[in-house]
Amino acid sequence: MKTLHLYLTRQVVAALVLTVAVFTFVLLLGNLLKEILELLVNRQASLLSILQALGYLIPFVLVFALPMGLLTATLLVFGRFSADQELTAARASGVSLIALITPILLLSVVLSGLSAWFNMQLGPQCRMAYKALLFRLGTERPTALLQENQFVRLSTNYIIYVGKVEGLNLRNLVVYQMDTNAPPTATDNPGYLPSHPADLPSVAAIYRAPDATLLVDTNTGVMQLEMPQVEGTYVTPAALISGQSAGMKLTLPINLSQHSLGGPPLADMTLAQLLDTYYEFRRQGIDVTPVKVQMHRQAAFSFGCIGFTLIGIPLAVRAHRRETSAGFGIALVLVLIYHSFAILAQAWETYPQRHPELILWVPNLLFQGLGAWLLWRANRRG
């Protein structure tokens, strides 16, 4: 029995390491392509900063990769164990399925504890550290907030296009000012801006500058665009009004000091921070349902390893397949079912009467209950 336990445990742990590495890489790749790679390609961040950012992301993505990896590992190992008739040989020797998988069930409990630590403490902390690092890169290199040859929406008020970024110098700059904001003031020519009618179209003004400089006040965190030569086009319901100015400064709706003043969003809070927010919301009479959803999500996801193990083992035995593709396919379906309840709960955050926080526990109860029943049937059949 001890030999079988060691054999299965080694197989599951080896498969677990491989599958967790694969899922972690896939999840990291999404963040890499979206937020990090462009900074590296444009030389707006050093390789060391990129590696540090990836290090912060790993604990955050392990929140999702660890349960998925354990599910896939159990499907692969026990599917092969059943297909190779090793399970039949063990049963012929008088070893029941329940006795055979006891170390794997204990492993799932240990990994659930580790997952709870990732969910409630380490993951949110690393996520905020990752965001702070990206923001710090933007502070040290303000042009990292702008992207070459792309339209960047800084807020609902401004859309900026930059042809070339050279340090703090910008080339071929185009600034679109939307009608939700008053026109900026030209410093060198106060009479440069014409009056606008009350009824403005979607674009209020367009500023074009062949050269500009990005100025940052490190004390206040305010960013400004200094444009020595500007051509402005002002859009009115009746016509387009064009003009030129010897120079102007435009204050951008970005304050680099605001990041340290604001707290983390609910999705990036630790359990202790969520509890503090919960009591603060109750004191102020604010709806606490979104906070409850986040707290229950962290707790419910921590038990995912147990549910995935309980349902993964009997499904692998029943499937009787040793192909890797079959294991990954079943795992993908189960993961989609599991996380669909979390998506539904977040969609119902504004409907407290539906108790969306309780929906998060449905997949755990479903997988654990169904898995226990399938294990009992598979054990009797043996």
Question: 311 and 289 share a domain?
Answer: yes
pLDDT at 168 exceeding the cut of 70:
yes
Question: 277 and 373 share a domain?
Answer: yes
User: What pLDDT, on the 0 to 100 scale, is given for residue 328?
Assistant: 77
Question: 132 and 273 share a domain?
Answer: yes
- Which helix (H) or strand (E) segment is 223 a member of? strand 222-227
Residue by residue, DSSP assigns 249-279 as: EEEEEEETTHHHHSPPPGGG--HHHHHHHHH
Question: 75 and 15 share a domain?
Answer: yes
d(CA 363, CA 302): 12
Instruction: Look at residues 237, 256, 275 and tell me which one is the last residue of a structural domain.
Output: 256
d(CA 172, CA 357): 50
pLDDT at 331 exceeding the cut of 50:
yes
Q: What residues make up the domain containing 303? A: 2-140+265-381
Show Cβ contacts of residue 177 under 8 Å, excluding neighbours closer than 6 positions: 157, 158, 183, 184, 203, 204, 205, 206, 207
Which residue carries 């042809």 as its tokens?
163
| CA distances from residue 245 to 98, 185, 232 in whole angstroms, order as listed | 81, 11, 8
Give the count of alpha carbons within 13 A of 234, CB side only: 15
**Mean pLDDT in the chain?**
79
Which of 9-23, 176-190, 257-271 comes out lowest in average pLDDT?
Answer: 176-190
Which carries the bigger pLDDT value, residue 56 or residue 241? 56
Cβ atoms within 10 Å of 213's Cβ, excluding its own: 16
Proportion of the chain above pLDDT 90, given as a percent: 32
Which of 96-110, 139-153, 299-313 comes out lowest in average pLDDT?
Answer: 139-153
pLDDT at 187 exceeding the cut of 50:
no
User: What pLDDT, on the 0 to 100 scale, is given for residue 190?
Assistant: 35
User: What pLDDT, on the 0 to 100 scale, is given for residue 43?
Assistant: 59
Question: 270 and 132 share a domain?
Answer: yes
Question: 320 and 367 share a domain?
Answer: yes
For 279-289, the pLDDT digits (tens) are 988 887 788 99
Which of 29-43, 129-143, 184-198, 293-307 comes out lowest in average pLDDT?
Answer: 184-198
- Quick one: average pLDDT of 353-369? 93
Q: Specify which of 234-238, 342-346, 347-351 reaches the highest per-range mean pLDDT.
A: 342-346
- Binning pLDDT at 50, 70 and 90, where does residue 237 land? very low
- The answer to pTM > 0.85 is no
User: What pLDDT, on the 0 to 100 scale, is given for residue 329?
Assistant: 81
Show Cβ contacts of residue 358 under 8 Å, excluding neighbours closer than 6 positions: 296
Question: 121 and 163 share a domain?
Answer: no
Question: 44 and 163 share a domain?
Answer: no
Question: 132 and 199 share a domain?
Answer: no
Question: 194 and 220 share a domain?
Answer: yes
User: What pLDDT, on the 0 to 100 scale, is given for residue 133?
Assistant: 80
User: What pLDDT, on the 0 to 100 scale, is given for residue 20?
Assistant: 94
As beta bridge partners, residue 230 has 245
For 92-131, the pLDDT digits (tens) are 888 888 888 999 999 999 999 999 999 999 999 998 888 7
Instruction: Look at residues 256, 287, 319 and tell me which one is the last residue of a structural domain.
Output: 256
User: What pLDDT, on the 0 to 100 scale, is given for residue 260?
Assistant: 44
Residue by residue, DSSP assigns 151-163 as: EEE-SSSEEEEEE
pLDDT at 347 exceeding the cut of 80:
yes
d(CA 17, CA 223): 46
For the chain, how many structural domains are there in total? 2
Question: 60 and 118 share a domain?
Answer: yes
User: What pLDDT, on the 0 to 100 scale, is given for residue 225?
Assistant: 82
pLDDT at 189 exceeding the cut of 60:
no
Question: 272 and 194 share a domain?
Answer: no
Which residue carries 């040989």 as its tokens?
89
- Quick one: average pLDDT of 237-262? 57
Distance between terminal CA atoms of the chain?
17
User: What pLDDT, on the 0 to 100 scale, is given for residue 242?
Assistant: 52
Helix, strand, or coil (residue 349)? coil
Asked if 245 and 186 count as a contact pair (C-beta separation under 8 A), the reply is yes
Instruction: Look at residues 222, 256, 290 and tell me which one is the last residue of a structural domain.
Output: 256
- Quick one: average pLDDT of 210-236? 74
User: What pLDDT, on the 0 to 100 scale, is given for residue 24?
Assistant: 92
For 63-93, the pLDDT digits (tens) are 999 999 999 999 999 988 888 888 888 888 8
Show Cβ contacts of residue 114 under 8 Å, excluding neighbours closer than 6 positions: 66
User: What pLDDT, on the 0 to 100 scale, is given for residue 180?
Assistant: 58
